[in-house]
Structure 1
């Protein structure tokens, strides 16, 4: 596995964990971008949008476009996404979380 793939897997797990820990299970790409930065992943909004599209293809999130022009991508975690975020399920392309002590 390349370093780039390793980082992408970790970033996708962080996105799922952020959504899973939110009471509403939902955030827009701008909020996720800032939260990712705080977790050590400084990436563009395009990278976040691409990750959300990839996660949606895997049925881990649903994405709704909100607004006109350059719409916000609002991601909502699915039940399957919650399972992956907590380690109950595994999906290639998403890092498996470490067990909590």
Structure 2
């Protein structure tokens, strides 16, 4: 696995785990960008949107748009991946607590 693939998988996990910690399991792309930044992933908003689209394709989140801002909501399957109960190729598996 390349370093780029490791980064992409970790960024997707950070998004899922951040949503898992939010009230209502949802957040807008700006909040998720800030969460990624807090975990050392300084990426563009365009890359955040690309991750969100990929996560939606995997049925890990649902997306809606309000005033040109994407809002992501964690699905049950996404919660299982965020907590390590399920595995999806392309998302880093969280460490055991």
Band the TM-score falls in, shorter-chain normalisation: over 0.9
For 1:28, the equivalent position in structure 2 comes to: 28
Equivalent positions of 1:1-101 (< 5 A) are 1-67=1-67, 71-100=68-97
Stretches of structure 1 that go unaligned for 5 or more consecutive residues are none
Distance 1:35 1:86 in 2: 17
Which 4+ runs in 1 deviate beyond 2 A? none
Give the count of matched residue pairs. 97
Stretches of structure 2 that go unaligned for 5 or more consecutive residues are none
Distance 2:36 2:66 in 1: 21
Distance 2:4 2:70 in 1: 24
TM-score (norm 2): 0.98
CA RMSD of aligned residues (A): 0.5
- Partner-residue secondary structure (3-state), 2:86: coil
Q: CA deviation at 1:21?
A: 1.1
TM-score (norm 1): 0.94
- Partner-residue secondary structure (3-state), 2:23: coil
Q: For the pair shown, which has the larger CA radius of gyration, 1 or 2?
A: 1
